[in-house]
Amino acid sequence: MSENRELAELNDSTSKELIRISQLSTSLLLGLAKRWELPDFDPLNLRRPAFQAAWSTLTHPRRLLAAQWDLTRRYLGLMRYLGLRILQRSTRPAASAAKGDRRFRSEAWDEKLIFDLMRQAYLLTSGWMLDSIARMQDLPAEDRMRIAFYTRQFADALSPSNFILTNPEILETTRREKGLNLLRGFRQLLEDLDRGDGQLLISMTDPDAFEVGKNVATTEGSVVFENEMMQLIQYAPRTKTVYTRPLLIIPPWINKFYILDLQPKNSFIRWAVDRGYTVFVISWVNPDEKMRYKRFEDYMHQGILAALDAIEQATGQREVNTIGYCIGGTLLAAALAWMKVKNDDRIKSATYFTAQVDFSEAGELKVFIDDKQLKSLEKRMQARGYLDGEAMSMTFNMLRANDLIWTFVVNNYLLGKKPANFDLLYWNSDFTRLPETMHTFYLRNMYLENKLVEPGGIEMDGVPIDLRTIDIPTYIQSSREDHIAPYRSVYKATQLYSGDTTFMMAGSGHIAGVINPPAARKYGHWTNDALPADVEDWIAAADYHEGSWWPHWDNWLKSRSGRRVKARQPGDGQLEVIEPAPGRYVKA
């Protein structure tokens, strides 16, 4: 009776999944039929670099023979490992996954020799492919980086962990659940395709588990100013006294500001308020086609400068300290140079979180940025007036494909599991759009031509921008494993500014390196008062410190924040409260 009941329940679950799959498939196919377009030939601009790589290989026969011998040697090591395992003798594997590689973390990979061998054969071959490209020193560095990037994408996609028959964990789950996991996974795949209107938007977390203003972005405060570009949030004090000089945070508009205010336990904003700072944060609007002509300098005028005016009205204080995060930091640097020409000295210190101004070593993001790809992107933006957030998100995810793509493909679509609830991944999936005019200017002048670093290389409202004129105290934060703003790129700013400059390197990456509260006791950071020309020399002489870098920054800033005064409440000054934080704009 028990077996019959289990079989009936399985059949019922299977029937329900098949019905939902059929409904989703029909809807999806109809939608795709309406919007189908032929892709541009060679949209990634790989044809020329690939030809150069092939030519480099053919014209260097010794290198080719050396590569073949290298691969043979690696597989001989694998055969030796196999022989010793058959003889039941302990031995080190011929290849091991890198630290942090979660694809093979299941113990099932070790339990059966066939899966162990498949894993090692894959790691040997993929490692050999990337090492072979690294030896092509006769190729231009950017072409070699592009070939290596897409070779890694190819290798990541072919990992045995990504396929049913070569992943022991998926096989065991399929046997145990009699294939229902695959039906659930296929249905979840169709749901993600439907959610993206034909484009695959992989669910990284349960979107219903979080709500902005309810369990993320919850630090108490009020919107005290707004215009068409942004809302300005003033946070309520959590101390009886505060520093005289307010703190203005300029977050990136590529994402939403609440990465700095996820939950109370990891909110940088809440932590800063607890330290006695009067914190203001810009919450950028999510632009639509009506904002297609907004320029980079419009973000300065209607963002930074408008916020400075509003802060003076709200607090009576003219002088402020600032933080610029990612592109918000790039804008802050450009605005400071503009303000120097205009004799506007309201900003008294600048902190930069993972912000680039010299893009000569901007890392793998440059793989997506050349003249041909930019023309294709500009054509795409012309149709709508903006770059959709899904495209930007996929670009960032490809930089860490194993963690941000394939892990979820396996979990969601092959194991048929729901993704875990994770606030950071919820934020990562809360896409924002980018105005056509601004984004074109930013990519061409910063990433492609690196003009911001040249004195007068760009102009903002006719004012030549010279970063060397920035002479206020500066604190630069970078992250050692940052794949979006590499520390080598961020460090270059230390050689530009003429004021007192502090550089600090945090552990982890672009997000976790910044969002690292002291209570978490994670990662660490490096400091060094000297600023040599080469960042590797800085690292070699740097002192390592356990834990979060936030207290180091606090000690730096509080001496530049004035005396303590009675805490200020939103609405106390000349600006009335518009609505509670986090406001309307962030929810769009």
Cα–Cα distance measured from residue 36 to residue 41, given in angstroms and rounded to the nearest whole number: 15
Contact status, residue 431 vs residue 439, Cβ threshold 8 Å: no
Q: Which of 216, 250, 326, 336 is catalytic?
A: 326
Q: Amino acid identity of 313?
A: Q
Nearest partner of 516 among 348, 324, 354, judged by Cα: 354
Cα–Cα distance measured from residue 385 to residue 379, given in angstroms and rounded to the nearest whole number: 10
Q: Express the helix, strand and coil content of the chain in percent, nearest 5 each.
A: 50, 10, 35
CA 41 to chain centre: 28
Nearest partner of 586 among 239, 224, 223, judged by Cα: 223
Q: How many CB atoms within 10 Å of residue 47?
A: 11
326 is catalytic: yes
Nearest partner of 573 among 314, 318, 317, judged by Cα: 314
Cα–Cα distance measured from residue 400 to residue 443, given in angstroms and rounded to the nearest whole number: 21
Nearest partner of 82 among 108, 109, 121, judged by Cα: 121
Tokens at 272, concatenated: 């800063």
Tokens at 66, concatenated: 């050396």
Contact status, residue 489 vs residue 363, Cβ threshold 8 Å: yes
Cα–Cα distance measured from residue 533 to residue 429, given in angstroms and rounded to the nearest whole number: 38
Per the listing, tokens 């023309």 go with 375
Nearest partner of 253 among 432, 443, 378, judged by Cα: 432
> Can the peptide bond before residue 455 be classed as cis, meaning omega within 30 degrees of 0?
no
Catalytic (active-site) positions: 326
